[in-house]
Chain A
Amino acid sequence: MQILCLGLSHHTAPIELREKFAFTEGELGAAALQLAKAPGVGEAVIVSTCNRVELYVAVEESTRGFAAIDDFIASRVGSFTSSAPVALASAFTRLPTSQSLRHLFRVVSGLESMVLGETEILGQVKKAYQAAQLGGATGRHLNKFFQRAFNVAKEVRTNTNITRGSVSVGSVAVDLAEKLFGKLAECHVMILGAGEMSELTAGALRARGVKSIFVANRSFDRAAALALSMGGKAVHFDQWQNEFHDVDILIGSTAAPHHVLTAEKLAPIMRTRRDRPLFCIDLAVPRDIEPAVNDIDGVYLYDIDRLQEIASHSMNIRRQELTICEEMIERHVVEFGDWLNGPSGESALRYQAAVSAPQGVKS
């Protein structure tokens, strides 16, 4: 028995191409069943996300298996045949058994994701598998294969730091806010200057359930529009200090050539805030918040460079973990390959898994 994978991803195909082959969540089960019933195919699972469309099949013979997948895709889009344009054909990666095993294990572990180590993909693959299973498209081999993949993902995440830290400025800011305040449900956020970065960061904070968002901008209309989109309240820029007393998180993103908030202004305000900390996120260049405010007790200031440093540091940690993750995955590839080829385990797969490169073989 062999397990094959044919697919395209953000590594091999632009979005214009990927969207042509994408499956909606509702049709995953039926499509997988249709593929499983194709001649030479016994079982099938279709994974379709914004970054990848992949078809996994369990077949007796690989040439017939790939031909069946080609026919299935051709019947779906009507243009994918051996005579299709070279660009289209080369966008699809065709993986034989050992590489298919390795590939899925890497995908669910987040190693093939656009953001290394992201965890959303595991849930998406689980949904795709459940849809295929409910649709009756899976059997003994793919059931065992996907269950193993989910175990691999769990092992990799539990025993390595591949998901450690945040790798974007917005998520770093959210992480820091949570390390300061715990749950953000009681936090009030104020945005000074309605820029794109401040909007993204405030959006990330809003997604974690902050209590309220105030937006102050020199153009009140812009502030009102942003406040409306975030369910917040617009404030006239010359009155932002009136609302500042209750603010826990301040995001500075104005185009002002000078410091909007100075230590001299902030120190007396902090004395009236009792022991509530203040998290200042300065995304502006030139900076909106005087660096000296970080010296005030209870004030934590992060500018754009500091946030990016932390994000880069987290990404470096994740990259350093790649080798450990790959070693774990290789062990599972060999073990599962042995199981797939019978109890003796003396299969060519062991050799193939050991020597083949991690990248897929393109058609």
Chain B
Amino acid sequence: MDRLLLVISTFCFLFGFAYTMHALGARVYRHASLNFYAILTGFCFQTAFLYVRGSQLGRCPLTNLFEVLIFLSWSMVLFYLLIGPAYRLSLLGAFTSPLVFLFQIGALLSPGLDVVTKLKSAPNPWLELHAAVSVVAYGAFALACVAGVMYLAQERQLKTHHIHSIFYHLPPIHDLGIANRRLVLTGFSLLSLGLFAGFAMGNVQAHLVKIAWSTGVWLLYAFVLLAILRHRLSGRNVAWFSVVAFTVVLCTLWGLTFIPESTPL
């Protein structure tokens, strides 16, 4: 039942992405609401999946990499739905859909990821908060990465004077720069909260590697946020950072799951 919800959600994102690519290819893309509604529908099915899975587990569904990927995708889409319409970044959805689709199809096609872990202890609310808020923070970083890619694509066209048809659909780099900085700030704030919850749960030694990793990510983004706030980084450099940093986070998050621990992520 829960996987069926996820399959439907995945197809919604695939449809949104395919429709946008078709419209761009045919050079008739408009700020179409169809893509937005496809993503919104996909989000509803994602939410339903997480609800069902959470009810089955009796805890926040973040017990294995499969669930983490879905939760991360859900967080990305949540941020897109919050900031996309506000900043009229309709094409952000077109860039978000393929990433979400890849996460979900990767999760669905890798049965080894969805390993049911029997947890003896009752859920620790601080641990639940730490895991959930941290993954939502990574969702913000993921969307900052998407906005960064769009920024770099737009900036390259403006610098090289090679104007392609997608130029007219990409948002102004000023708006992308603002969205990028705010997403980094939001992600950092949430990650700080998640980290605080991680320390508050006590027994830090049991999760030392993951806490250390989260602290490392926090320090990385703290350093860049400080540079942004002191206007030491150009919009282009912030965009590059968002892309590189999230790629690193994603790769290390995957590697982290191979570290055996008796508690969820």
Interface residues of A (CB under 8 A from B): 158-161, 164-165, 176, 178-182, 274-275, 277, 294, 297-298, 300, 302, 306, 309-310, 313, 317
Q: Are the C-beta atoms of B161 and A179 separated by less than 8 Å?
A: no
For the complex, what is the distance from the CA of A297 to the CA of B159, rounded to whole Å?
10
For the complex, what is the distance from the CA of A70 to the CA of B170, rounded to whole Å?
52
Q: Are the C-beta atoms of A275 and B177 separated by less than 8 Å?
A: yes
Q: Which residue of B is nearest A294, CB measured? A: B159
Q: Are the C-beta atoms of A164 and B168 separated by less than 8 Å?
A: yes
Q: Which 4 residue pairs across A and B have the least CB separation, nearest first?
A: A274-B231, A182-B172, A297-B234, A182-B174
The residues of B that contact A302 with a CB separation of less than 8 Å are 161
B28 beta carbon closer than 8 Å to chain A: yes
**B130-169: which have CB < 8 Å to A?**
154, 158-159, 161, 163, 165, 167-168
B235 beta carbon closer than 8 Å to chain A: yes
CB-CB under 8 A for A179 and B158, given A158-B30, A275-B177, A297-B236:
yes
Q: Are the C-beta atoms of B172 and A178 separated by less than 8 Å?
A: yes
Q: Which residue of A is nearest B178, CB measured? A: A182
What mask results when residues 48 to 77 of chain B are scored 1 for a CB within 8 Å of chain A, else 0? 000000000000000000000000000000
CB-CB under 8 A for A275 and B168, given A160-B28, A182-B175, A300-B158:
no
Main secondary structure of the interface of B (DSSP, over half): helix
B27 beta carbon closer than 8 Å to chain A: yes
B38 beta carbon closer than 8 Å to chain A: no
The residues of A that contact B222 with a CB separation of less than 8 Å are none
Checking B174, B231, B233, B238 against A181 with a beta-carbon cut-off of 8 angstroms, the contacting residue is B174
Q: Which residue of B is nearest A321, CB measured? A: B27
B173 beta carbon closer than 8 Å to chain A: yes
Q: Are the C-beta atoms of B168 and A165 separated by less than 8 Å?
A: yes
What mask results when residues 15 to 31 of chain B are scored 1 for a CB within 8 Å of chain A, else 0? 00000000000011010
For the complex, what is the distance from the CA of A300 to the CA of B236, rounded to whole Å?
13
CB-CB under 8 A for A309 and B234, given A180-B173, A181-B172:
no
Q: Which residue of B is nearest A186, CB measured? A: B174
The residues of B that contact A161 with a CB separation of less than 8 Å are 27-28, 165
Q: Which residue of B is nearest A298, CB measured? A: B234
Q: Which residue of A is nearest B154, CB measured? A: A179
The residues of A that contact B167 with a CB separation of less than 8 Å are 179
Q: List 27 A-B contacts (CB under 8 A).
A: A158-B30, A161-B27, A161-B165, A164-B165, A164-B168, A165-B168, A179-B154, A179-B167, A179-B170, A179-B173, A180-B172, A180-B174, A181-B172, A182-B172, A182-B174, A274-B231, A275-B234, A275-B238, A277-B235, A297-B234, A297-B236, A298-B234, A300-B159, A306-B161, A310-B161, A310-B163, A313-B163
Q: Are the C-beta atoms of A176 and B235 separated by less than 8 Å?
A: no
Q: What's the tally of chain B residues with a CB closer than 8 Å to chain A?
A: 25
The residues of B that contact A309 with a CB separation of less than 8 Å are 161
Checking A176, A274, A275, A317 against B158 with a beta-carbon cut-off of 8 angstroms, the contacting residue is A176
Smallest CB–CB gap between A168 and chain B, Å?
Answer: 15
For the complex, what is the distance from the CA of A161 to the CA of B30, rounded to whole Å?
11
Q: Are the C-beta atoms of B159 and A179 separated by less than 8 Å?
A: no
Smallest CB–CB gap between A164 and chain B, Å?
Answer: 7
Smallest CB–CB gap between A21 and chain B, Å?
Answer: 38
The residues of B that contact A158 with a CB separation of less than 8 Å are 28, 30
For the complex, what is the distance from the CA of A294 to the CA of B161, rounded to whole Å?
11
For the complex, what is the distance from the CA of A275 to the CA of B155, rounded to whole Å?
14
For the complex, what is the distance from the CA of A34 to the CA of B27, rounded to whole Å?
45
For the complex, what is the distance from the CA of A180 to the CA of B163, rounded to whole Å?
13
Smallest CB–CB gap between A246 and chain B, Å?
Answer: 15
**B202-227: which have CB < 8 Å to A?**
none
The residues of B that contact A275 with a CB separation of less than 8 Å are 177, 231, 233-235, 238
CB-CB under 8 A for A179 and B172, given A275-B234, A275-B235:
yes
The residues of A that contact B165 with a CB separation of less than 8 Å are 161, 164, 317
Most buried by B among A158, A277, A294, A310: A277
For the complex, what is the distance from the CA of A120 to the CA of B164, rounded to whole Å?
25
For the complex, what is the distance from the CA of A309 to the CA of B163, rounded to whole Å?
10
The residues of B that contact A300 with a CB separation of less than 8 Å are 158-159
Smallest CB–CB gap between A314 and chain B, Å?
Answer: 9
The residues of A that contact B177 with a CB separation of less than 8 Å are 275
Q: Are the C-beta atoms of A159 and B28 separated by less than 8 Å?
A: yes
Q: Which residue of B is nearest A187, CB measured? A: B174
For the complex, what is the distance from the CA of A317 to the CA of B164, rounded to whole Å?
11
Q: Which residue of B is nearest A160, CB measured? A: B28
Q: Which residue of B is nearest A179, CB measured? A: B172
The residues of B that contact A298 with a CB separation of less than 8 Å are 234-236
For the complex, what is the distance from the CA of A180 to the CA of B235, rounded to whole Å?
11
For the complex, what is the distance from the CA of A179 to the CA of B238, rounded to whole Å?
18
For the complex, what is the distance from the CA of A100 to the CA of B93, rounded to whole Å?
44
For the complex, what is the distance from the CA of A274 to the CA of B177, rounded to whole Å?
13
Q: Which residue of A is nearest B231, CB measured? A: A274
Smallest CB–CB gap between A302 and chain B, Å?
Answer: 7
Q: Are the C-beta atoms of B158 and A180 separated by less than 8 Å?
A: yes
The residues of B that contact A306 with a CB separation of less than 8 Å are 161
